[in-house]
Amino acid sequence: MNRALWILAVLLSHWRRHPMQLATLLIGLISATALWSGVQALNAQARISYDRAAATFGGARTAMLVGR
């Protein structure tokens, strides 16, 4: 635990001298999180759309590949 606090103190002292690096780190993390959330939302919508299309055109009679 002592080592983790020492590392945190070193990072905070570095970012105090270089605030632009802290800003770009935070902007990068926020952008990556937003992009990941957006991709997950699009994938969920695509799954729903594909399921709806499969039910409309083939129903249970259509051959499907199913994972184990």
Q: How far apart are CA 14 and CA 8, in angstroms?
A: 10
Average pLDDT of the residues of the chain:
91
Q: What is the model's pLDDT at position 59?
A: 67
pLDDT tens per residue, range 1-18:
799 999 999 999 999 999
Q: What is the model's pLDDT at position 61?
A: 72
- Work out whether the CA dihedral 40, 42, 43, 48 comes out positive or negative: positive
Name the more confident of 51 and 62.
Answer: 51
Q: What is the model's pLDDT at position 40?
A: 97
Q: How far apart are CA 66 and CA 58, in angstroms?
A: 16
Name the more confident of 39 and 52.
Answer: 39
